[in-house]
Structure 1
Amino acid sequence: MKKSYQITEFCHRFLRDFIVEKDCCIDATAGNGNDTEFLCRMAGPGGRVYAFDIQEEALEHTRRRLKQAGLLERAVLIRDGHEHMEEYVKGQVSAIVFNFGYLPGGDHRIATRPETSLRAVRAGLGLLKPGGVMNLCIYSGGDTGYEERDALLGFLKELDTRKWLVIVSSYYNRGNDPPLPVFVIRL
């Protein structure tokens, strides 16, 4: 079986070690529902996944995908910015997944922005349980991609090393600003 080295598959393999049945997880950028489906499968029948997106189109893609997979009852789909996650999610979570940028196949003018992305990451860190993980797939380029990447990495570099482990990976031999997989583990 050939392994996929797409960023989402790479990140899913890493995330598997942090999520068990009945966990609560967050897909901070629902998009087309790929990560939401993955988190729902990992959290199992007793788990809960909160999926955020500002675009109804993204939530509809996610809803259809989850319904087709028989996983819709495990998810709460929320049309709001990810920076407001702490208003909806009470208690601690095991995993939070972000895919920064724009909806694949969608309007490129609608994309994540440095200010709201930083607020969302801060909110997520406050919800993450000890031993939990936050995954950031950072796509740079475009109008705000470099600015967003630099803001996120600058913020993460300053996290207290006694409380957080930040792992930044890269597709080192690929050109054209490949995505950057980042993992933040609460110690």
Structure 2
Amino acid sequence: MFLNTKLTDMIHEILIPIIKPGDTIVDATVGNGFDSLFLAKAVGPLGKVIGFDIQEQAIDHARQRLESEGLIDRVNLIHDSHSNIDKYISHPIGGAMFNLGYLPGGNEGIITQAKSTLEALEKISCLLSRGGFITIISYWGHSGGSEEKEAVEQFLSELDNKTFITAKFNFLNRSGSPPIVYLVQKL
């Protein structure tokens, strides 16, 4: 059943019909490179993925994963904050993916921050082409996660509803702080 799959896999299934070959897509939080790999396959040989992460370890893991699949030529990995996207991209993009929290298997003290995430979301929403998307999975069950989750929700709820559609998916019967999925599409 689809609700029993990993959230990232569910997001990938949602995006398959949306991403067009030749698109430029941002992986705003590269992590271990699974989304970068998915996106590199989806954009095809004429597309481009631009991945950001503040941790060199994440960039290294993603590079290894992409090289082993022969797809590194489709991806530009940038060791910088996603909030600095405007230093690297000025043309329209087809979409962006965020996984908020900390690097799985990495230092749990290094987390995404509300301030930089909001800066990135604002800049990316301005870069989206018509029909473009933003997906966000908020893993917020750690110190600082609740603040970021609330900031993201406020930002998304204030987007102009004549320009953007926003949605939230969360689990109702899981204990603790289960992850939340946010979906955005530019009209």
Identify the TM-score tier after normalising by the shorter chain: over 0.9
Q: Name 1:156's counterpart in structure 2.
A: 156
Distance 1:86 1:137 in 2: 22
- Distance in 1 (alpha carbons) for counterparts of 2:172 and 2:73: 39
1:72 is matched with which residue? 72
Asked whether the 8 Å contact 1:54–1:80 carries over to 2, the reply is yes
Would you say the 8 A contact 2:24–2:47 is kept in 1? yes
Match of 2:81 in 1: 81
- Higher mean displacement: 160-169 or 8-17: 8-17
Q: Match of 1:108, SS?
A: coil
Q: Is the 8 A contact 1:86 1:127 kept in 2?
A: no
Q: Deviation of residue 172 (structure 1)? A: 1.9
Q: Which runs of 5+ in 1 are unaligned?
A: none
Shift of 1:13: 1.0
Query: Which residue of structure 2 aligns with residue 48 of structure 1?
Result: 48
Alignment partners' CA distance in 2, 1:146 and 1:26: 24
Query: 1:86 aligns to what SS in structure 2?
Result: helix
User: What CA RMSD, in Å, does the superposition of the two structures yield over aligned residues?
Assistant: 1.1
Q: Secondary structure at the match of 2:170?
A: coil
CA distance in 1, matches of 2:5, 2:124: 26
Alignment of 1:20-31 (within 5 A): 20-31=20-31
> 1:15-69 CA distances to partner (integer Å, 9 max, x unpaired)?
1122011110000000000000010000000100000001110000000000011
Mapping 1:132-151, distance limit 5 Å: 132-151=132-151
- TM-score, normalised via structure 1 length: 0.97
Deviation at residue 175 of structure 1 after TM alignment: 1.5
Aligned residues: 186
Query: Which residue matches 1:122?
Result: 122
Q: Show structure 1 runs of 4+ deviating over 6 A.
A: none
Identity of aligned residues (%): 37
Residue 106 in structure 1 maps to residue 106 in structure 2: yes
